[in-house]
Amino acid sequence: MIAITPPIVTAIAAGVLILLQTGLGLAVTLVRRRMKQSLGDGGNAELLAAIRRHGNLAENAALFIAGLGLLEMLGGLRLFVEILAGLFILARISHAVGMSLKPPLNLLRVGGVVVTVGVALTLSWRLLALSIPLLQR
C-alpha cells in the first residue's frame, strides 16, 4: 500500500499561481475599463495581449498543478517536486513578462515556453514511471 503524503509543495505552488492568475485577470479588467470594451478585444492589441497573458497561464497552470499534486502524492522526491514547481512558476512569470515587452517575441517569452514544455514533459515522464509499475500490484 502507498502512504499518501499531503501535497504541501503543490499547495504552495497553487497559491502562488492563483495570485499570479488573479493579478493577470485584474490587469485584463483594468485594460477593458480603460478601453471601454466589455467583451472581446475590439481589435485592440493591448487588450488582446492582456487577455492572452491571462489565458495562457490558465491553459497551463491547472493541468500542471494536478500533475504535480499526483507526483507529490505518489511519493515523488520532494526536491524534484520543488524544482519542477519553481521552474514552472518562473517560466510562467517569464512568459507573461515577455508578452508585455516590445517586440512580443523575445527571450523571456520564448524561454518561458521552452521551460514550461520541458517541465511538462519531465512531469509526465515521472508520473508514468511511478504509476505504471503500480498497475501490476
In this prediction, residue 108 carries a pLDDT of 96
User: For helices 78-100 and 107-131, what crossing angle results, to 10°?
Assistant: 150
Confidence class for position 5, pLDDT limits 50, 70, 90: confident
Q: Which residues contact 32 (CB under 8 A, 6 or more apart)?
A: 38, 47
Digit-coded pLDDT (tens) for 92-137: 999 999 999 988 789 999 999 999 999 999 999 999 999 999 998 6
Q: Looking at the chain, how many residues does it have?
A: 137
| For range 10-14, the mean pLDDT | 98
* Whether the predicted pLDDT of 80 surpasses 70: yes
* Per-residue pLDDT, 43: 84
pLDDT-derived band at 2, boundaries 50, 70, 90: low
- What is the model's pLDDT at position 122? 98
pLDDT band of 8, cuts 50, 70, 90: very high
Distance between alpha carbon 126 and the CA centroid of its chain, in Å? 18
- Identify the H or E element spanning 64: helix 45-73
Question: Distance between CA 37 and CA 29 in Å, rounded?
Answer: 9
> Tell me, what's the pLDDT at 17?
98
| Domains with residue ranges and CATH for the chain | 8-131 (1.20.120.550)
Cβ contact 113:90 at 8 Å? no
Q: Which residues contact 16 (CB under 8 A, 6 or more apart)?
A: 89
In tens, the pLDDT along 32-79 reads 999 888 888 888 888 999 999 999 999 999 999 999 999 999 999 999
pLDDT tier, 1 (very low <50, low <70, confident <90, very high otherwise): low
Q: Are 71 and 123 in contact (CB under 8 A)?
A: yes
